[in-house]
Every structure is written in structure tokens, then in C-alpha cells.
Amino acid sequence: MSADDTTALPDQPLYLTVADELDLLIAQGQLAAGERLPSVRELSQRRRLSATTALAALRALERRGVVEARPQSGYYVRQRPRRLPEPATSRPPAAAKPVTVSSIAARLLAASNDPDIIGFGAAIPEADWYPVATLQRHAAQAARRHSQMIGEYSPFFGLPALRHQIARRYAELGVAVDEDEVVITNGCMEALNLALRTVAAPGAVIAVESPTYYGLLQLIESQGMKALEIPTHARDGLSVDALAAALAGPEGAQIRACVVTPAFANPLGSLMPERARQALVRLCERHRVALIEDDIYGELDFAGQRPIPVRHWDRSGSVLLCGSFSKSLAPGARIGWLLAGRHRDAVRMRKFTTSAGTALIYQHALSDYLRTQAYARHLARLRRLCANNVARYADAVEQHFPAGTRVSRPAGGFVLWVELPRGTDTLALYERALFRRINFAPGPLFSASGRYRHCLRLNCGRQWTPEVAAALQALGRLVETG
Amino acid sequence: MSADDTTALPDQPLYLTVADELDLLIAQGQLAAGERLPSVRELSQRRRLSATTALAALRALERRGVVEARPQSGYYVRQRPRRLPEPATSRPPAAAKPVTVSSIAARLLAASNDPDIIGFGAAIPEADWYPVATLQRHAAQAARRHSQMIGEYSPFFGLPALRHQIARRYAELGVAVDEDEVVITNGCMEALNLALRTVAAPGAVIAVESPTYYGLLQLIESQGMKALEIPTHARDGLSVDALAAALAGPEGAQIRACVVTPAFANPLGSLMPERARQALVRLCERHRVALIEDDIYGELDFAGQRPIPVRHWDRSGSVLLCGSFSKSLAPGARIGWLLAGRHRDAVRMRKFTTSAGTALIYQHALSDYLRTQAYARHLARLRRLCANNVARYADAVEQHFPAGTRVSRPAGGFVLWVELPRGTDTLALYERALFRRINFAPGPLFSASGRYRHCLRLNCGRQWTPEVAAALQALGRLVETG
């Protein structure tokens, strides 16, 4: 990464940003254990830094315990204590289940609103990972410029300028999207809600990843549908073979839709390989099963190579793509979208009867922002923040959690999936952790069949601080003492 | 009305505001045909106006053809050409129907977005009937003051300060509301959606007024429910006796909910008398049928005596009240609410899976605005604008529509329901009117059973202008020439 790409954190001196970048290279294994880091002179020349800044960066890494100084020789990457294995492919039950995760979710969300609790619970990064000041300035500007807009009904399917920007971004990825099929929604949740209700009726079976986002399971529950959990791997995501087997199985004919997050699924962080993504589209096409793609984490890849949505391989207009700015740009704007494909008219009707139009002010603000070059710079910074934090949290888990623990190694997003030794009960652990003012998301939340009782999800969206480090250490001890 | 209450229209001189007020007294019959108006001297003394302003007001009324000058004697209210009767109580079919009004509604809404078409279609008043500048200032202020809010998830059930303001306003009406049961929604449509899905499942029968709001019929359609139309009177609203008969009838046991707009129902403008409102609550209680109250027009009474919501008489927590600022204060803010009563937890879960939280910026802006005295002043002005416009539109219908026409005489809101001579086909009329660039809402839109083909709804929310007058005259002629 060149110095030009370096976007400083607010209130963070340059040397820490440089340290973060080196830290990431180490976490990703590009600088291996035992390897020598660039010297102060090399670093300052390569990155066009002062020698003082370069030295400060290396010393910061030393304080973090990531590198060690060897006299007369330089800085070397320290041996990691050990490397925990990834979780294995999930093996959910083969039958569809009615869903009942709501009560756990309600407690999790309540705890997430408590400022005294260390928030590893909900998947929510720090507000200042986002360009809040710039966006609020755009919002204030929109309020002044479009002074009539609060007095008028907003267009039901969204601001044309924003729909254009969204279509344009997909076009840049090579995904052909007609502006006319973009429906602006109140966040990704409304997009998922509209998509699911458009293609399936109560009683229908919906194929989902296992584990999967609890909001999706609650949505399926509230619609009186049933979730069929499909085996999913922490790195490669949903198993297309397993889905094919389910479609050929006893409940196959009742599967109306498959809801998948191909890129950086929540909670696993998995990324389906490109061939698997293509195969998934073909499989759903063959079985005439609607494919709902949750693309909310797509922009958050650590490598800066945004995965292409499965929608790209859709020939029949049957993929419904749900997206949002909630993770990538503006969690509080509540602006998402649905690319409705051939379901456009049905989706529009449901949007009208669900909430009519979405308020325009943030649609204007985001559309104005997207016309500038700022978004690319922000994304580069956000990706680095996510990558650094995920690596650091994973390291802390390796260091502090007991033997037998497995942890995901995602290539994007900002959550970790931790499989604890068999017999650990994360619902019981949850009570003890909350008592210590530590929040996390217990595993059973992510299953319609009560699985993953020995698993938990960690939100890595909180800036690394001594308090966070201490909380992770304490959590590891709680697991250990069972 | 005293001069203190006079709120001038933007860009409207004081004499026109005085003329509007007198016009309203005439329209409401408080100044009867043949009666003498106050003299210039009386008017200027009573209202503390200059003689010039008073005279200009009387002359404006003369130009409108509402009063006539008699030499040496003064101004007199003119005899109205005739007074059209109100529509009779509706007689919908006794069986519940699946709903299919969507295609008409889609065309209506598309035409409403066309600035070249005179908009008697959607129920949307002029933007400058609302305090847009003040509200947008509050929004810009909120963006500056709460600069982190676009970077954070918003509370799922709404901003506590706004929920407090809403509960307080109901408390002032004597309606006890717990802040905790207020769920902020994306407009009234989302409130209706959540309420209906909470108390009824697909296949359920929902009792509704006949005619009723097409958005509600589309919502029922999109949920796979059936609408049972209950006879409704243009002045007194839903017939509680008819609902009782339906509950005792063959489909009575399948009726899960009754959705009613007791105050200024759309499209009839009817207001249920207080005794009928009480009786409705008791009836639903007795039959354990959920009562969903649409209170969106409640603030828009012409007399300034806001009707008390039926929720007031609810003892069991079974009334779900849906409200919104969309008609009374800020159509573009998309902020509504649901008073969920004993269904609070179920509603909250559905709110989370429908759209998660609602964006905070307008919640802050409205909550700040409601803390000032401005809302009462705005409502006084808005009520007068609605009353004047509705009276004027009704007069135009009386003057220009053929014999056999009936027209509603609502006591609030801003729509008129017009029953044309039997045999008139408003769907055919709609095509001819659109060709002339006149939009209105054809009657069948308001029925699940294709009734009201000889009826139409007029939006009176467009400021009276020569173009509006000419369009109403042209519409009357189109009706006449069949």
C-alpha cells in the first residue's frame, strides 16, 4: 500500500497508521514469523516518512507484542503462540424448522444499547469508522437545497439520482443493472423482507446458510415460513452440493427461495469461490428456486478486490439482490436497496404497502457523496480498519481462549465466528459475561434448530483499546473456567 | 376566530386571509344565503384591520361570486345555486373478497408524479401548507448537533424524545399512552402493515369501511387476506350495527381484525359520533376482534375540536392505533407511529424484521419542533386551509356537475367523495380526464368488490387557482357528456 492511499484515522498520528498497515501484513502472513521487518531507513525511504515516524511505527509494533527488537539487527516478526484451526463445515439437521430465536435476539439488542457494556454483541462498528461529519454536512445541505422535500411525498421507489448511482456502481463491477429495477428501501432488512415476501408465502421452506444472520431467521419466523439450514464452511461459504442434495431431498419441492450472503457472510465471514457462486445461480435456475442475495458486506473485503455478486451470472432475472449502505458507509441513514430483476412490479407493490416512500434527505446526501471521489478513499480506509481489527481480535482469541477452540479467518467484514470446545454452553456463558459487562452473540442465535450452543460471534468493530484487550482476555478465562 | 389566530398564507396579503375566513363561515352555513355581511366599519373594528383591508376582503368575496353588493345597503351572501345531497350509506356485498386494486392504484400514483397533470388524484396537499422551512432548519440543526448519528444504528423502536412527545399529545386529549408502547415507524403505512401482520395471518378476514383507502386494500391483498366491506355513511362513518351483523354472520368467526378510520376517513371524510366510537370498541372487545385505528387525519378537523381516538375507550389494550405526521405536519419525513397496547413485544419484533430502526434525523427535527408552540399555530392554519379548500371544491362540484350528483360534506380532512349519476363509469371517465391532463381517483379503487364505479374521490389539497376551477368545470362537463 503506498503512502498516497494512507488515510489517517481521526486523531491518530501517522506513525500509528503505518504500524497498523504493517500489523495487517503480519496478520495476513505476508510477513511471516521470524522474518525481518524493513529497517528504519528502508521504511522511511519506501513510504516517504521521516525517520522519527518510521521508528515510532516499529516501536508501536514492539509494544503490541507483534515484533521483537534484536540488538544490532533490527525488528523481527514474533512467533505466534499457536494458530487455531478454522471451524469445520457445519452439519445442520436435514429437516426444515419453524424459527424461534427472537427472545435471545431481543436481549442481545437491548445489551447492545447499553453504553456500559463492551459491545462484542451486535455487528456494529465504531461511528468514527464512517465519514460522519462529511455525510451530515451533505444532509444539512440537502435540507437547505431541497427545502420543499419535507412537505412532499417522496417517490415510492426512491430518488432517481441515487438509484442511478447504485446502478452505476454495479456496472463498474461488470454487473448489468437497470436503474428502473432499483427499489430504495429502509435499510437492507426491508429489502430482505420485500424480497422474501415477493417470492414465498407462509409455510414455504427457505434454504439458508448455517449458521446465518439471526435477523433473517426472525424474518422467516415472523412470516410463518420454515428455515432449512444448509451446511456451510467458514471459508468457502454455503455448500452448493449440499443445497443440491436438499433440493433433491424430501423437502426439496417446498423450497421456494434460497437466501445467501456469498461475500463475507454473517457470522462466518465466508466468501464463496467464484465457481461456487456461478454454480449456485445455475442450480437455483434449474430448480426454479428464487435466489435472494444479501450483498451487504460485499464492499468490506480486506484485499480491496470486491467480490462480484452472484447476480452477475443471472440470466433469467430471478436473483433478487439486497444491498445497503449500513455497513459500508452510513449505518444510521437506513438506506438500502433491492435489485428486483423480473420481480420489479411485485416488489414495488410490496414496497408501497410496507412503508410507501423512503424519506429523501439521506437519499440526497448519499447520492451527492457518491458523486465525489471520497467514497473510494473511505472504503480503502474502512477495509484496512476491518482487516486490522479482525486480525487483532483473532490473535487475542488464539492467545486467551482454551485449547480446542477454533476461529474463523475471514477475508472481509468485521465479525469472527468462534467454535469453543465441545460442551461449552454459550447461553450460560452469556449470562456470566453480561454480569461482567461483556456482550457477545451466543451461537444458538444463528440457527433455527438450536445448534451452535458451543459457538459465539464476536463483533470486531470496536476500536482496539486496553479495555477491549482485557475484555477478550476475561472472556477467554470465562470459557476456560466453564 | 380572532386576529391573533390569523396566520397569513405565504405570499398572500392579509385581505385574502380575511376573505378566506368569511368564505369558510359562508360555506359552513354560519352565514346563511341572503344574510348581510358585517360592514366595512364593523369588520375593521372587530378584526382590527384598516378600512382598506376590510373593503378589499369583501370585494374579493364579491369577485368569487360568493357575496353580492347591494347599493346603499352592503354585502349579502348570495343564494347558492343548489345544495347537492350527501351520498347514502354504502351497501357493499356481504361476503369477504380477495383484493385486486393494485393496477388502478399504480396508474393513479404514476399520474400523481406528473407535474403537468392537475392533481385531484392522490390525497396530497400543497407542500407550502406545511412549515417546510422551519422543519428543514430543524433537520439541518439535528445533522450538525448529532453528528455521530449517521454513523450509528438508530434505536429500533424510535427516538425516546419523540416517543415522549407523541405520548404527551395523546395525554393532552385524555388518552393514556405509555411511552414504552410507542413504536416509531416509516410512516403510517408501516404502522398499518405491522399492526395487521401482528393480529392476523394470511387467509384471515379483515373488516373495513366501504369505501376505504386503497393502500389498505393493497396491504390486505399483499398479505393474502380478505377484505369484508362494512356499510359506511359519508357523515357518520362505519355502521357499528352492520359490523355487529357481520360478526354474527357466516364469516363472523373468520374476522380477525377491523381497520377503521373513525376521524375523517379516506375517502368519505366521515366522522363517527362519539357514541358510535365507544360502541365500536365494546363490540370488538366482546368478539375478541383486534381493532386497528387509523388516526392519520385526526388533527385535521375544521372546527378545531380534535376527535378523541377510539383508543381512549380501550380497556384491554387491544386497540392498535396507527398515526403519522404525513398529513398534519411533514409528508416527506416518513415518520409515523404505532401505539401497540398489549401487542407491544410482537409489534417490536415485526418492526425489527421489517426495517429495523427508522433514521433519526427527522425524528430529532420533529421532536424539537413539537417542543415549541409552532405546531398549534401551524395546525390552526392548516385546518383553515383544508376547510376553505374543501368548501370551495364542493361548491364547484355543485355548480358544474350534472343533476343526480351527490357529494360528501366532511368536517375534516381534504378529500371529497362524489357519487355521480348511476350509469356513469369513472374508469372510462378516468381515461378521458387523463387525456385532458386531469387526475382523480376512480371509485373502484376504494373497494375490494369493484363497487363505486359511478363514484370518484377528489383531492382538495391543491391551492384554489383559476386552473383548478377550470379543471373542475371541465371534469363536470366530461361527466355530463358521459
Residue by residue, pLDDT tens for chain A (482 residues) are: 333 334 444 446 788 888 878 877 777 677 888 889 999 999 998 888 999 999 989 988 887 667 888 888 899 988 765 567 778 788 887 777 665 556 677 777 777 667 677 778 888 899 999 999 999 999 999 999 998 999 998 888 999 999 999 999 999 999 999 999 999 999 999 999 999 999 999 999 999 999 999 999 999 988 999 999 999 999 999 999 999 999 999 889 999 999 999 999 999 999 999 999 999 999 999 999 999 999 999 999 998 889 999 999 999 888 999 999 999 999 999 999 999 999 999 999 999 999 999 999 999 999 999 999 999 999 999 999 999 999 999 999 999 999 899 999 999 999 999 999 989 999 899 989 988 889 999 999 999 888 999 999 999 999 888 889 999 999 999 998 86
Torsion on CA atoms A134, A138, A143, A147, rounded to nearest 10: 160
Taking the C-alpha atoms of residue A272 and residue A144, their distance in angstroms, rounded to an integer, is 44
Cβ–Cβ of A143/B149 closer than 8 Å? no
Residue with cell 364579491: B62
Residues B196, B223 contacting (CB under 8 angstroms): yes
Contacting residues for B172 by C-beta, under 8 A, at least 6 apart: none
Query: Which residues share a beta bridge with A418?
Result: A407, A456
- CA separation for the pair B87, B113 (Å, rounded): 30
φ, ψ at B204 (rounded to 5°): -65, 155
Express the helix, strand and coil content of chain A in percent, nearest 5 each.
45, 15, 40
Task: With CB atoms and an 8 Å threshold, state whether A330 touches B129.
Answer: no
Interface size, chain A vs chain B, as Cβ–Cβ contacts under 8 Å: 212
- The 10 Å CB-count burial string (b at 16+, else e) for A142-172 is bbeebbebbbbbbbbbbbeebbebbbebbee
User: B136 and A150 in contact by Cβ < 8 A?
Assistant: yes
The label of the residue with cell 383559476 reads B466
Per-residue pLDDT, A99: 57
Chain A touched by B349 (CB under 8 Å): yes
Q: What is the pLDDT of residue B10?
A: 46
Contact B148 A156 (CB under 8 A): no
Select from A201, A333, A345 the Cβ nearest to the Cβ of B150: A333
The whole-angstrom separation of Cα B28 and Cα A25 is 79
Q: Identify the pLDDT of residue B294.
A: 98
With beta carbons under 8 A apart, name residues in chain B contacting A349.
102, 106, 218, 222
Residue length, chain B?
Answer: 482
What distance in Å separates the CA atoms of residue A61 and residue A81, rounded to the nearest whole number?
16
Cell 456470566 locates to A432
For B4, residues 6+ apart whose C-beta sits below 8 A from its C-beta are none
- HEC readout, A424-481: CCHHHHHHHHHHCCEEEEEHHHHCCCCCCCCEEEEECCCCCCHHHHHHHHHHHHHHHC
Cis amide bond preceding A331, omega within 30 = no
- A151·B144 Cβ contact <8 A: no
Minimal CA separation from B452 to chain A, in Å? 22
pLDDT (0 to 100) of residue B245: 96
How far apart (Å, rounded) are the C-alpha atoms in residues B212 and B446? 5
Q: What are the residues whose beta carbons fall under 8 Å from the beta carbon of A64, sequence distance 6 or more?
A: A19, A23
Q: Nearest-CA neighbor of B264 among B90, B416, B64, B377?
A: B416
Is B106's CB within 8 Å of A155's CB? no
Interface residue B118 vs chain A (CB under 8 A): no
Tell me whether A214 touches chain B (CB under 8 Å).
Answer: no
3-state secondary structure chain B: CCHHHCCCCCCCCHHHHHHHHHHHHHHCCCCCCCCECCCHHHHHHHHCCCHHHHHHHHHHHHHCCCEEEECCCEEEECCCCCCCCCCCCCCCCCCCECCCCHHHHHHHHHHHCCCCCEEECCCCCCHHHCCHHHHHHHHHHHHHHCCCHHHCCCCCCCCHHHHHHHHHHHHHCCCCCCHHHEEEECHHHHHHHHHHHHHCCCCCEEEEEECCCHHHHHHHHHCCCEEEEEEEECCCEECHHHHHHHHHCCCHHHEEEEEECCECCCCCCCECCHHHHHHHHHHHHHHCCEEEEECCCCCCECCCCCCCCHHHHCCCCCEEEEEECCCCCCCCCCCEEEECHHHHHHHHHHHHHHHCCCCCHHHHHHHHHHCCCHHHHHHHHHHHHHHHHHHHHHHHHHHHCCCCCEECCCCECCEEEEECCCCCCHHHHHHHHHHCCEEEEEHHHHCCCCCCCCEEEEECCCCCCHHHHHHHHHHHHHHHCC
| pLDDT in 10s for each residue of chain B, 482 residues | 333 334 444 456 788 888 878 877 777 677 888 889 999 999 998 888 999 999 989 988 887 667 888 888 899 988 765 567 778 788 887 777 665 556 677 777 777 667 677 778 888 899 999 999 999 999 999 999 998 999 998 888 999 999 999 999 999 999 999 999 999 999 999 999 999 999 999 999 999 999 999 999 999 988 999 999 999 999 999 999 999 999 999 889 999 999 999 999 999 999 999 999 999 999 999 999 999 999 999 999 998 889 999 999 999 888 999 999 999 999 999 999 999 999 999 999 999 999 999 999 999 999 999 999 999 999 999 999 999 999 999 999 999 999 899 999 999 999 999 999 989 999 899 989 988 889 999 999 999 888 999 999 999 999 888 889 999 999 999 998 86
- Gap between the Cα atoms of A433 and A119, Å rounded: 11
Residue B346: Cβ-neighbour burial (10 angstroms; 0-12, 13-18, 19+): middle
Q: How many angstroms separate the CA of residue B322 from the nearest CA in chain A?
A: 13
Q: Does A144 sit within 8 Å of B144, measured CB to CB?
A: no
Domains parsed from chain A with CATH numbers: 3-77 (1.10.10.10), 97-127+376-481 (3.90.1150.10), 131-374 (3.40.640.10)
ipTM of the predicted structure?
Answer: 0.82
Supply the DSSP symbol for A322: E
CA A306 – CA A283 distance, rounded (Å)? 24
pLDDT value, residue B1 = 35
Cell of B316: 384491554
Cα torsion through A199, A329, A122, A9, rounded to 10: 160
- Nearest-neighbour CA in chain A from B359: distance (Å): 6
Reduced to 3 states (helix: H, G, I; strand: E, B; else coil), residue A145 is helix
A148 shares contact with chain B (CB less than 8 Å):
yes
The Cα B361–Cα A301 span in angstroms is 30
Measured between beta carbons, the chain A residues lying within 8 angstroms of B152 are 124, 127, 331-332
The rounded distance, in Å, linking the Cα atoms of B214 and B94 is: 19
Is residue B163 left, alpha or beta, with left meaning phi > 0 and alpha meaning psi from -120 to 50? Answer: alpha
B33 touches A: beta carbon within 8 Å = no
Q: Is B454 on the interface with A (CB under 8 A)?
A: no
Contact A352 B139 (CB under 8 A): no
Determine if the peptide bond prior to A71 is cis (ω within 30°): no
CA distance A84 to chain B (A): 33
A354 touching chain B per CB within 8 A: yes
Locate the chain A residue with the closest alpha carbon to B155.
A113
Closest to B301 (Cα-Cα) out of B193, B173, B167, B120: B173
End-to-end CA distance of chain B: 43
The span from the CA of B138 to the CA of B329, in Å, is 13
Centre a 10 Å sphere on the Cβ of residue B106 and count the other Cβ atoms it contains.
16
Report the C-alpha gap between A417 and A211 in whole angstroms.
10
Residue to substitute from A157, A193, A353, interface B, most B β-carbons within 10 A? A353
Backbone angles phi, psi at B173, to 5 degrees: -85, 0
Q: How far is the C-alpha of B384 from the C-alpha of B386, rounded, in Å?
A: 5
Judge: B153–A127 Cβ closer than 8 Å, yes or no: no
Chain B residue with minimum CA distance to A185: B355
Q: Are A385 and A430 in contact (CB under 8 A)?
A: no
Cell 397569513 sits at which residue? B8
Q: Is A358 on the interface with B (CB under 8 A)?
A: yes
Look at residue A63 in the predicted model and tell me its pLDDT: 72
Q: What are phi and psi of A290, to 5 degrees?
A: -65, 140
Q: Are A107 and A117 in contact (CB under 8 A)?
A: no
Which residues 318-337 on chain A approach chain B with CB closer than 8 angstroms?
326, 330-335
- Locate B115 and state its grid cell: 407535474
Helices (H) and strands (E) in chain A, counts: 15, 15
Nearest CA in chain A to B135: A150
Do the Cβ atoms of B197 and A222 come within 8 Å?
yes
Q: How far apart are CA B218 and CA B193, in angstroms?
A: 11
Q: Do the Cβ atoms of A140 and B135 come within 8 Å?
A: no
B106 touches chain A (CB under 8 A): yes
Q: Which residues pair with B75 in a beta bridge?
A: B69
Which member of A124, A137, A193 has the closest CB to residue B354?
A193
Please give, rounded to a whole number of angstroms, the shortest distance from the CA of B119 to a CA of chain A: 13
The nearest CA of chain B is from the CA of A200 a distance in Å of 11
